[in-house]
Chains A and B, each alone.
Chain A
């Protein structure tokens, strides 16, 4: 069996999982212009939510997506309304630290509620491999990949075709001019933050059979998500997906050909290179940085 095709497939599928987590971040980052350091912790909360719903209520983890999307939308919107919004005029650095505070509180809340144990949403089906053309992949990853593509396409359509979506894009392009066109910018921010968080809820539900929940799991994904968002270009959904696939491939290939403990080094170096050479990201609009 050839190892390279397998590594590429593994990398792309992992990229699909990363994409799910990153699209919410790129929305918030690109439109509200807030670096949300609690993004990983929202994902962690989602994983615990999926675990609770599957083990206590008996909901299939995938179906848990419905309540989780709603709950995380509300949580994200509330965070924007009550924590970020009051700081919109303050030094942008201050907003970063507000989100750091939220993240710290969430990690410790999880520790109090669930302990430091890992919790796995039971869905053995998702971990069973599918074999085709000499390749072998877990079903759960195929599902995650498909969902991430559909979710991204849906979001892109939403932003392009709906009135609300156009308003969101208008705010992203010029937050000063948007109010002149009758757009309620603070409301757009709240909705955007909500949508960004809802994406995380979706990601958590879909990935919960593959990744166990524990209080610090968010920090494992957060930095990667930031790398992906910057790589793809702030606020660009297509960019986030492309960035996620690239980072997934790097993870898989560098883990094999370089060394597993240096794969993060490789993708941080790529990240730095992109920042220095093309700060707007692969798909970003020049000047948005």
Chain B
């Protein structure tokens, strides 16, 4: 185990020991235990929230929907059927997960503030409906948690572990802490798993995530489901703890905002962040109320608001961000010694060009009145490098998006021969990725907040079973692409050439059988171009079939076996590099008719 994981666990243990063992030694711990229960409850929910808000980057301000569902499930089942809250808790979690998926499905394609506002709207609708359907929920009159119940055998006292109600208050500390540990454990597992990396990829750049084979809708929904279920578990406990539930409190927007705030103040997307944020803010709020509550109405609220602004202004990265050097290990990936100098792949014999592996037939794509791709058909053979050239605006990138599933064609189809030899026609980018198609993007935007290693791992997770396997793959590919010494650098600090190579490395880590390269050489200096040409050749020699869009003529001529020329969305020529270089229509397209006429 890494030293900082141990430090984290020790901090957690101390957090538990304080209210459970240490403070009771010094004083009557009743109040302090409540403060810690509050901290645990909020920290647990902030941690659960962070799976959606931090890892997946979907700022939900409606998370109390699940908190309320959990509380209502536990209390209603208790009241009406005498079912102990532990079962109610599970039922609530199941309902919450389902509700989370249902609510998020239509909203996930919304970006930024729009998603946030939609979650608020859902929360309001749920709250108002809970108020309106009072026969079911008890409405605004609320439901007290039964402490005594009349049964056939007389008065039953519903106190004790089964009912989650205690005279011994330290037991509530125990449960609240248990829930916190559960949430942290789930968050940690997710953060370190393939699923977690997929979420980060979605947060950083959704299209690139799709390109490495992530089904973005599915991972987002999965994140919402997990997060909702955890939040609901905590809500069940807290509902019982509060002893009285009504819609205004259980479906409170203010609480939902607070949860997000704790995570944000602590540091979005890290495991330790939400806990740290809660630990900072809850005591401030409690202390402000304790010290200032008696002096003037509202003074503590004012102080709280101002402190909030202050924290946000001084630590916009969050506490964990501000203390990154110390927390990076706990929150981030493992540190390893840099790998040994890459063993240059010895030039292998180039495999022969084989059967077709990708076929596009009569592809047409229109945007309004503009026909960006007009009846294009092409075939890529196994082991071949196919170059696509054309003037700016010719529709090359649109063609690429059609070939990789990012755009559906209006007419025509694309089919790919998958690893088992079957021809398939996927209908989404991750489907193409599954069929063995990897791609890069013209505008390189690596997952800026992640390291080079993590960026490449995102691609490797497409096939890797374990984190270790993905890391090994990342190191291998990085070496191949000349990034071996940069593995631990944050991707945002790469040079243009480095970023382009990273783009290729990420696609390559997927172990694609077909690689679509979109202008990987544009903007590079001549020595970088030479490196890139060498890289493409190496990839080709390892058995990958390649389609490359390129502006750098010399380079495309050097690497391509065959070239397709596109102009105004149409294919105007196809042939060997030598033939294309002499083709009249091509010269015309690039340089204009006058030039052709003059030189003729």
Contact = CB atoms under 8 A, between A and B. Distances in A.
A260 B392 CA distance: 58
B114 A86 contact: no
Given A97-B261, A262-B132, A230 B297 contact: no
B125 A105 contact: no
B121 A268 contact: yes
B120 interface: yes
Given A105-B309, A223-B120, A268-B121, A96 B59 contact: yes
Contacts of B107: 272, 275-276
Tell which of B111, B113, B120, B132 has the most Cβ of chain A within 10 Å: B113
Interface stretch (A107-115, A136-144, A159-167): A107-115
A231 to B, nearest CB: 11
A279 B59 CA distance: 17
B52 to A, nearest CB: 12
Interface in A158-215: 215
A66 interface: no
A6 B301 CA distance: 43
A269 interface: yes
A75 interface: no
B117 A275 contact: yes
Interface stretch (A46-54, A87-95, A148-156): A87-95
Interface residues of B, number: 45
Interface in B64-87: none
B308 A100 contact: yes
A226 B121 CA distance: 10
A268 B309 CA distance: 29
A272 B132 contact: no
A275 B128 contact: no
Interface string B305-317: 1111100110011
B274 to A, nearest CB: 13
A261 interface: yes
A74 interface: no
B124 interface: yes
Contacts of A29: 113
A103 B312 CA distance: 14
B18 interface: no
B260 interface: yes
A83 B316 contact: no
Interface in B301-330: 301-302, 304-309, 312-313, 316-317
Given A268-B121, A289-B110, A108 B305 contact: yes
Contact of B297 (A103, A112, A272): A112
Nearest to A34: B113
B308 A276 contact: no
Nearest to B129: A265
B318 to A, nearest CB: 9
B298 A108 contact: yes
Given A97-B261, A107-B301, A268 B59 contact: no
Given A86-B316, A97-B265, A268-B125, 16 more contacts: A29-B113, A37-B257, A92-B112, A92-B113, A100-B261, A101-B305, A105-B301, A108-B302, A112-B297, A112-B298, A112-B302, A261-B131, A268-B121, A275-B110, A276-B106, A289-B111
Give the 9 A-B CB pairs with smallest separation, nearest first: A105-B305, A111-B298, A108-B301, A101-B308, A104-B305, A90-B316, A101-B309, A108-B298, A108-B302
Interface of B: 53, 59, 106-107, 109-114, 116-118, 120-122, 124-125, 128-129, 131-132, 257, 260-261, 264-265, 268, 296-302, 304-309, 312-313, 316-317
